[in-house]
Structures are given as structure tokens and as C-alpha cells.
Amino acid sequence: MTLPSVFRKRRGDGTALVDDLSFLIRESADVYHAQADKFLSSHQLAEFRHNPLLFHKKQAGLVKDEDRPAYFIGRAAHVLILEGRKVYEHQYTFGGPVNPKTGEPFGNRTKAFQEWADAQGKPVLPDEQAALIEKLNSAVQDHKHAAALLAAGVAEGVVHAEYCGAACQARLDWLNPERGIVDLKSCDNLDWLQTDARNYGYAHQLAFYRALVAGVVGSILPVYLIAVEKREPFRCGVWRMGENVLGIAQKDNEDAIARLKDCRKRDHWPTGYEEIRDFDWL
């Protein structure tokens, strides 16, 4: 697929891919998500691609996103790995109250733990969750290529840009001015990472990020994916996203934005199952 001219520019002088990172906005995740009604994100676009009606209901506030325990651990791991220990320890409380009768910590499902957690004023990571996050951090730091990608750059920077006539935003895990865009994922098994990537639309997410950054800086950046296992042996791997894969995903995204604009114009939100389908496989 032929990319727009802005995507064909590359630096060949050996200097940084991005000279000035001041276009990145530093804002909290809460502020970022609060602007979902004004800016289209990769998550919203993915939802629209799969289910326009559900996308519309969420936009209207009729359906809320589910916040699963795995998401909570993943967010905390991102803070430690990408933003550092100082930020991590500022944003989270650790441990929990101890049962005076047994000398052991109360379970995180008990009333005593919940009352203690509510009084902390910020999210609480029980000891076992905090220990898991430390292992994820160590695995990433011990991987030479992952550590090199994260050795310089900006964590959790937000970019706003108009893309295909739509106001869009992206919160980048990491932007390394000399290496490009870096995204961090946790998974159960690295052997299934590329299957997970297809199932969860990682290429579409990263193609969206790449397009927004390119619209601002005027050049296409390489895109890397760091993945780390959430169980023994806590392997970490690094992938460079292929140009062909990102190009196909970019085309899918742009087609989806065009459909989204049409749905908004007509106020028509299909399910994708309006017609009879053939069931012809086992």
C-alpha cells in the first residue's frame, strides 16, 4: 500500500528521528480519558470497527467499560516500568492490615482490608500483586533490547492531531526520540504473543499512534512492541512491527473513520448482524 507523502519522509543523517518532543502533552490518565467525548482514540476506533452499536452506547454513557483486575495490575506495571519507582510509589499504596489474631495480613477480599484500602486515598497493591509487578519490571530491565528502547524518551505522552478529518488523541506508552514508538504489553505466554496481537488489534492500535505522531512531526517512526509474561519464567520479548502489517492496519483504521463519520452523519449504528449469514463450517 502506498502511504501518504508525510509517511515517506525519513531522516538519513544519523540524528534523532524526533528533535523536539514538546508536542507531547503531559496529563494524567484521568484527564486523558475524560476527553473521550472530544477526541477519538485507538481504543474507541477498535470498538467501532467491531461493534458500532456498542461504541455508540458507550459514547452516550449507556454502557460503562469493565475494569478487570488484570487491567489494574497492568496499569500499575506500566507506571513502575515506564515512569519509574518514584512515581509508582507516589501513586500506589502497598500491603495491607495485619490480623492481630493470626499475625498474617487480611485477605484483600475481607471487610477489614477493604475498609483499610478505602482510607488510603489511592489504589492499593496487596503484597502478592506488588511482588508480581516487581518481577515484570525486572524481566523488562534485564532484556537488553527492551532496556535500550526505554533508556531514553518520554513515558505516557499524549498527542492530539486531526486524522482523516477527525479530532484524535493517543497516549503513547513511550516515545524514544532516536528509536521511535514503543508499546508495552503484559501477556500469559510469549509464544502466543502474535496471536494475542491479532485478537486484540495491537497492529491497528500502533498504526493509529504512528499516524498521529507522523501528522505532527512530519515523518514516519519505527514502532516496537515489548511484551512480558505475567507468570514464570517471566520472559520478555521485543518485536519491531512490520511496515506491511502497519500499512494494512492503517488502511483499516482510515476506512473505519470514514464509516464512523457516516454513522454520525446519519445517526445510524449497525450491529453488523442485520442480514442472514450462512453457517458453513465446523
Answer for the pair 261, 166: CB distance below 8 angstroms, yes or no: yes
DSSP of 66-95? P--HHHHHHHHHHIIIII-HHHHHHH-EE-
Q: If you ran DSSP here, which 8-state letter would residue 39 be given?
A: S
What pLDDT does 227 receive? Answer: 98
Average pLDDT, the chain: 91
* Fold entry, domain 20-66+143-266: Lambda Exonuclease; Chain A (3.90.320)
pLDDT for the residue numbered 116: 86
| HSE (side-chain half, CA atoms, 13 Å) at 167 | 5
The three cell numbers locating residue 140: 523488562
pLDDT per position as a tens digit, 62-104: 998 887 778 889 999 999 999 999 999 999 999 888 888 888 8
Contact 209, 251 (CB under 8 A): no
Q: For position 144, what pLDDT does the model report?
A: 98
Cell 478529518 found at: 165
In this structure, are residues 116 and 96 in contact, taking their beta carbons and an 8 Å threshold? yes
If phi > 0 it is left, if psi is from -120 to 50 it is alpha, else beta; for residue 131 that is alpha
pLDDT tens-digit series, residues 93-148? 998 888 888 888 888 788 888 888 888 989 999 889 999 999 999 999 999 999 99
Amino acid making up residue 279: F
C-alpha–C-alpha distance, residues 282 and 280, integer Å: 7
